[in-house]
Amino acid sequence: MKPIKVASVCAGLMLLLPNFSVSAVPLSNNASSTEIPDTEISATETPDTEARSHNLAPLETPPPMPTELPGLVSRRIKRDLSRRINVPVDDLRIVQSTAVNWRNDCLDLAYVDESCQQKEVQGWNVEVIRQYSDNSWSYRSDRTGNRIRLDLKASSAQSDFSPALSQQLLQKASAQLQQPISSLSVGDIQAVTWNDGCLGLAEPDDLCTQAIVLGFRVIVKDGQRQWVYHISADGSQIMQNAIASSTYDITGIFLPNGYPVSPESGPQIIFQGQSYDFVSNTASTTMLSADGTVRSYSDAEESVFIWQISPEDVAAFESLLTQQNFSHFDQIGYISVGIPIPEGTYVMTGAGARVEAYYNNSIEMPEALRPVLEAWEEIASRQSTEQSTKQLTHSPQ
């Protein structure tokens, strides 16, 4: 086996972002923003026109959208992101903006229990990047920037990672890491629904309240190292995921929400390793069943290899996953800082987690993951002495 892969109510949001509650346009009592029509009604109306106006209110036709993103919208978006991730505005650059007709005044990005007025809202879809970083952020805005929303591109994004929440996190991290806030910034953000009060960071003997907690995984950086934090949406719980925090030569990124955290071949499969080679565009997969059956197959071969390990070996491997807190690495991908273009990626799935590592000649991942990888490679290497072969006529189950 070849080792290796790898973003409340609207009013509440506006309270957190006071600079955005001031509009360049008068606000009505029934809407968060109001467009000023290009044309004004003449001060003198003919009786006939006035009579008609009593019977049928004229339709307001919004002015055409500008061909380029207005500077005011650009400045408001960059100022908002600057506060969220604690970097200077000058470090942010808008790389793409597209005029969009949103279907409602929530900009098609409603929060939980938020009531949205169903009306067409002209606006913008904007992508922002930070200099010298691979991270990008997607924003939605109305046409004037009176209303902006960070799109975390996550189906479970049920709350907004606000500037206030960002500052709470950075203050906590500053105290824990004994570094000034000015040296820290927020990297990747992922909205999460935790299944317990320990925010997914329970140790084997911990007692956690069984409750749904909305929150975020967040990467905090200092320019050399990075730390993974779990934070509840209201900021009442902030916990460092120390075991998943990477060293100086490894960068962590969050995988897109929706990736499976259980092997795809069924509940009887307790662990799965998949290697994807970018050069040959092929994949190989090895799966371990609860009864000790191991299956291995590759896109490049016509056969599936099957062998057996003992119940004791299965129990020892499952115990290792628990001991190394494998679930704490869920939805994180790792890549070596020195890799220009990775040759492939290795994915490990099981025990409630999915972990990736990009590679060239070797895997780069936190030390706590290495015992798991080594034990898994040892199981996979037994193919040479204990294998039996059959024709691969369909995907192995």
Look at strands 344-350 and 332-336 and give their pairing: unpaired
Ranking 131-135, 195-199, 303-307, 341-345 by mean pLDDT, the lowest is 131-135
The 10 Å Cβ neighbour count of residue 355 is 28
Q: What is the pLDDT of residues 109-140, one digit of tens each?
A: 887 667 889 999 999 999 998 876 667 888 99
User: Using an 8 Å Cβ cutoff, are 158 and 114 in contact?
Assistant: no
Tell me the CA end-to-end span of the chain in Å, nearest whole number: 19
| Buried-state track 191-213, b at ≥16 Cβ within 10 A, e below 16 | bbbbebbbbbbbeeeeebeeeeb
Q: What are the CA-CA distances from residue 171 to residues 160, 186, 219, 237, 369 (Å)?
A: 18, 12, 14, 13, 29
**pLDDT above 70 (res 143):** yes
Rounded-to-integer distance, Cα 209 and Cα 376, Å? 32
Residue 40: is its pLDDT beyond 70? no
The reported pLDDT for the residue numbered 3 is 43
Query: What are 224-229's contacts with CB under 8 Å, separation 24+?
Result: 224/248, 226/187, 226/251, 226/252, 227/173, 227/177, 228/252, 228/332, 229/169, 229/172, 229/173
pLDDT confidence of residue 20: 36
**Where do the domains of the chain lie, and which CATH numbers do they carry?**
7-22+65-151 (3.10.450), 163-240 (no CATH), 269-391 (3.30.1560)
Q: Higher confidence at residue 49 or residue 129?
A: 129
State the pLDDT at residue 18: 40
Q: What is the rounded CA–CA span in Å between residue 356 and residue 345?
A: 7
Which helix (H) or strand (E) segment is 169 a member of? Answer: helix 163-177
Nearest to 348 by CA among 367, 366, 333, 338: 333
60 — pLDDT class (breaks 50, 70, 90): low
Most confidently predicted of 119-128, 221-230, 248-257: 119-128
User: In a 3-state reduction of DSSP, which class is residue 366?
Assistant: coil
pLDDT tier at 172, thresholds 50, 70, 90:
very high
pLDDT band at 71 (very low <50, low <70, confident <90, very high): very high
Q: How does strand 353-359 pair with strand 332-336? A: parallel
> Whole-angstrom Cα distance, residue 375 to residue 317?
7
- Judged by average pLDDT, the poorest of 13-22, 163-172, 176-185, 208-217 is 13-22
Q: Which pair of structure tokens corresponds to residue 319?
A: 């115990």
User: Does residue 301 have a pLDDT over 70?
Assistant: yes
- Greater pLDDT, 254 or 20: 254
53-62 average pLDDT score: 54
What is the pLDDT confidence band of residue 221, given thresholds at 50, 70 and 90?
confident
DSSP assignment of 94-135 equals EEEEEEEEESSTTTT-PPTT-----S-EEEEEEEEEETT-S-
Closest CA to 72 of 150, 130, 126: 126
Query: Is the pLDDT at 33 greater than 60, yes or no?
Result: no
Query: What value does the mean pLDDT take over residues 204-208?
Result: 80
pLDDT digits (tens, 9 = 90+) for 332-372: 888 776 666 778 888 999 888 889 888 776 777 888 888 99
What is the pLDDT of the chain when averaged over all its residues?
76
More confident position, 21 or 284: 284
- Higher confidence at residue 39 or residue 243? 243
- Please determine, for residue 105, whether its predicted confidence score (pLDDT) is greater than 50: yes
pTM over 0.85: no
Q: Is the pLDDT of residue 91 over 80?
A: yes
Residue 181's pLDDT is 92
How far, in Å, CA of 330 to CA of 176, rounded?
Answer: 23
